[in-house]
């Protein structure tokens, strides 16, 4: 008789009683609004005009510095956020061929084989990244943050790189195009806003890329011996952009994968410090902004004609004013401005001033249509995006970008988006609990304790009362 393998497996563990009842269902999940294509131009058959412009605006700096400058950008969810980050680095001078998007989605080759769609949280467009000249590495399974960091170091070792850069995907970067300029210089450029000379020289030694490379060159040269040869990390705006010495990762045994997400950085950086490695904070190399929003069309970052910088939820402009501006922007030179619906109570002089300013804005808008966005407007728009992420001086919007999509049902490796988020949050709590047990203390201020060292890992009693004060992931230390 052939055994009933299914029944044997279900009864594994010796349970011979009645089948347990199915738990009650949760309320229906909230469906999130659909997202739009973040870079529509790459989804079309490019006209010769835009094909030429795209090639020019994504061209790599020439000549390439003698140093290898790989930049890892990890990705799990939110394709619009990723493509925005990547395009901003290219616009800031980073060679596209040096950018390595690490697809850490856990969907194996589904994205490479075009099996996922835009509304799927784990969707990534390999074709569009290839159009930009960017590399894509696929992890064999879904990795935690700590595992991903070890993957960066392992990949660097396999490719023979002694150093590498890595960045979060929820940032937008700019070269500081006002670097070294006087107020008169800026005023003169504002008058020419949108003109053909508006395109920043990506080969400039003042680009974000070249200034970041100069930090690496300084570390390698170190002729005056002012810098520690055993350096571990150089932080640009903390770890929103980081330069890493591979030996410092290997030298302390890699990132602790028992601490999958938050506090893994505390654990790594203090172990490196106790192991004799030095961390540096770099001088400003450009503008690095932490954002949770996405531009309506990230092509604006490349100053492509006709693409204006805007984003949904922009707190800078009231909705009725935005509608009026759209009407103004649609006018041609032969028509007069429509009356303003939001300044009816203003005096004639105020109206005249306003109309004068709007005439300037209209001209600027038309110049952007012809030549592309201006640095000043791009920067101001993204700065509002960054401010919105931390509105109210809280972290309330900090990670909202990770759960903006809820589609993909029926596609390979589909996961319930709310369940995935809950699983990550539970893993975060677990990691904090592991950190607390490992070092006997709840909180990253372990690094400030006198007499602490790597040999103390897992050898210290708790400095809190588990029964009275809660688990390791609880408390005010986090």
215-250 pLDDT tens trace: 999 999 876 677 778 999 999 999 999 999 999 999
Q: Give the least confident one: 111-125, 251-265, 279-293, 346-360.
A: 346-360
What was the pLDDT predicted at 226?
A: 74
| 293 and 312 Cβ atoms separated by less than 8 Å | yes
Q: Give the least confident one: 195-199, 378-382, 424-428, 459-463.
A: 195-199
| 205 and 176 Cβ atoms separated by less than 8 Å | no
pLDDT at 6 over 80: no
| 318 and 307 Cβ atoms separated by less than 8 Å | no
pLDDT interval class at 332 (50, 70, 90): low
Quote the pTM value.
0.88
pLDDT interval class at 209 (50, 70, 90): very high
What was the pLDDT predicted at 151?
A: 98
| Long-range CB contact pairs, 365-369, < 8 A, 24+ | 365/308, 365/328, 365/329, 366/194, 367/193, 367/194, 367/195, 368/194, 368/305, 368/306, 368/308, 369/305, 369/306
pLDDT interval class at 396 (50, 70, 90): very low
What was the pLDDT predicted at 368?
A: 85
**Nearest CA to 213 among 234, 240, 229, 231?**
234
Token digits of residue 28: 């229906």
Measured distance CA(428)–CA(444) in Å, rounded: 14
pLDDT at 60 over 80: yes
What was the pLDDT predicted at 319?
A: 53
What was the pLDDT predicted at 336?
A: 57
**Nearest CA to 434 among 269, 255, 257?**
257
Mean pLDDT to the nearest integer, 384-397: 75
Token digits of residue 337: 């401005």
pLDDT at 154 over 90: yes
Q: Give the least confident one: 45-49, 112-116, 182-186.
A: 182-186
pLDDT interval class at 203 (50, 70, 90): confident
pLDDT at 322 over 70: no
pLDDT at 17 over 90: no
Mean pLDDT to the nearest integer, 94-103: 98
With the CA atoms of 433, 435, 437 and 438 taken in that order, what torsion angle do they form, in degrees rounded to the nearest 10? 160
Measured distance CA(79)–CA(101) in Å, rounded: 11
Whole-angstrom CA distances from 390 to 100, 184, 384, 395 are 28, 33, 10, 6
Token digits of residue 344: 């009816």
Give me the percent of the chain exceeding a pLDDT of 90: 69
pLDDT interval class at 197 (50, 70, 90): very low
Distance of CA 57 to the CA centre of its chain: 21
Peptide bond into 157 cis (omega under 30): no
Phi/psi of residue 184, each to 5°?
-65, -40
pLDDT at 1 over 70: no
pLDDT interval class at 186 (50, 70, 90): low
What was the pLDDT predicted at 195?
A: 43
What was the pLDDT predicted at 390?
A: 86
pLDDT at 458 over 80: yes
pLDDT interval class at 196 (50, 70, 90): very low
What was the pLDDT predicted at 180?
A: 74
Token digits of residue 272: 């490196």
CB count in 10 Å sphere of residue 47? 10
| 235 and 242 Cβ atoms separated by less than 8 Å | yes
What was the pLDDT predicted at 199?
A: 65
Measured distance CA(297)–CA(314) in Å, rounded: 14
Q: Which helix (H) or strand (E) holds 197?
A: none
Query: If you average pLDDT over every residue of the chain, what do you get?
Result: 87
Measured distance CA(257)–CA(146) in Å, rounded: 5
Q: Give the least confident one: 126-130, 295-299, 387-391, 395-399.
A: 395-399
How many Å from the N-terminal Cα to the C-terminal Cα in the chain?
59
Phi/psi of residue 382, each to 5°?
-70, -30
pLDDT interval class at 358 (50, 70, 90): low
Measured N-to-C along each axis, helices 417-439 and 264-274 cross at an angle, to the nearest 10 degrees, of 30
Higher confidence at residue 259 or residue 317?
259
Mean pLDDT to the nearest integer, 340-357: 55
Measured distance CA(385)–CA(314) in Å, rounded: 7
pLDDT at 397 over 50: no
With the CA atoms of 38, 301, 64 and 222 taken in that order, what torsion angle do they form, in degrees rounded to the nearest 10? -110
Measured distance CA(260)–CA(429) in Å, rounded: 10
User: How many residues in the chain?
Assistant: 478
pLDDT interval class at 327 (50, 70, 90): low
With the CA atoms of 300, 306, 311 and 317 taken in that order, what torsion angle do they form, in degrees rounded to the nearest 10? 120
DSSP codes, 103-169: E--S-TTTTTTT-S-TTSTT---HHHHHHTT-EEEE-SS---HHHHHHHHHHHHHHHT-SEEEEE-S
């Amino acid at each position: 008789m052939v055994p009933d393998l299914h029944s044997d497996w279900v009864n594994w563990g010796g349970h011979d009683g009645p089948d347990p009842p199915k738990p009650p269902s949760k309320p229906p999940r909230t469906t999130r609004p659909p997202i739009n294509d973040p870079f529509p131009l790459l989804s079309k058959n490019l006209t010769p005009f835009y094909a030429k412009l795209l090639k020019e605006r994504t061209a790599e700096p020439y000549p390439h510095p003698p140093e290898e400058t790989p930049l890892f950008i990890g990705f799990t969810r939110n394709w619009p956020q990723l493509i925005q980050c990547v395009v901003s680095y290219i616009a800031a001078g980073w060679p596209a061929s040096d950018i390595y998007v690490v697809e850490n989605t856990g969907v194996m080759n589904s994205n490479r084989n075009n099996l996922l769609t835009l509304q799927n949280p784990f969707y990534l467009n390999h074709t569009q990244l290839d159009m930009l000249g960017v590399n894509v590495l696929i992890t064999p399974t879904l990795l935690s943050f700590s595992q991903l960091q070890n993957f960066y170091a392992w990949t660097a070792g396999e490719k023979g790189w002694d150093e590498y850069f890595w960045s979060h995907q929820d940032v937008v970067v700019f070269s500081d195009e006002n670097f070294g300029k006087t107020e008169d210089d800026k005023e003169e450029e504002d008058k020419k806003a949108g003109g053909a000379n508006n395109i920043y020289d990506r080969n400039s030694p003042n680009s974000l890329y070249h200034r970041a490379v100069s930090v690496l060159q300084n570390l390698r040269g170190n002729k005056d011996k002012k810098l520690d040869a055993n350096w571990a990390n150089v932080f640009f705006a903390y770890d929103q952009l980081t330069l890493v010495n591979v030996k410092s990762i290997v030298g302390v045994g890699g990132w602790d994968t028992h601490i999958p997400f938050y506090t893994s950085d505390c654990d790594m950086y203090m172990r490196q410090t106790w192991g004799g490695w030095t961390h540096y904070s770099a001088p400003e190399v450009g503008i690095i902004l932490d954002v949770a929003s996405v531009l309506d069309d990230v092509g604006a970052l490349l100053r492509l004609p006709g693409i204006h910088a805007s984003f949904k939820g922009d707190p800078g402009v009231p909705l009725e004013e935005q509608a009026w501006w759209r009407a103004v922007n649609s006018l041609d030179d032969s028509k007069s401005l429509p009356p303003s619906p939001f300044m009816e109570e203003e005096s004639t002089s105020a109206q005249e001033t306003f109309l004068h300013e709007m005439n300037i804005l209209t001209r600027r808008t038309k110049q952007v249509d012809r030549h592309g966005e201006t640095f000043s407007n791009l920067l101001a728009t993204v700065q509002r995006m960054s401010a919105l992420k931390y509105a109210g001086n809280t972290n309330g919007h900090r990670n909202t970008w990770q759960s903006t999509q809820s589609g993909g049902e029926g596609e390979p490796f589909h996961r319930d988006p709310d369940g995935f988020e809950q699983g990550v949050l539970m893993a975060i709590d677990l990691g904090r609990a592991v950190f607390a047990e490992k070092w006997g203390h709840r909180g990253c201020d372990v690094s400030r304790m006198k007499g602490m060292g790597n040999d103390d890992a897992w050898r210290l009693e708790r400095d809190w009362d588990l029964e009275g004060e809660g688990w390791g992931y609880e408390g005010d230390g986090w």
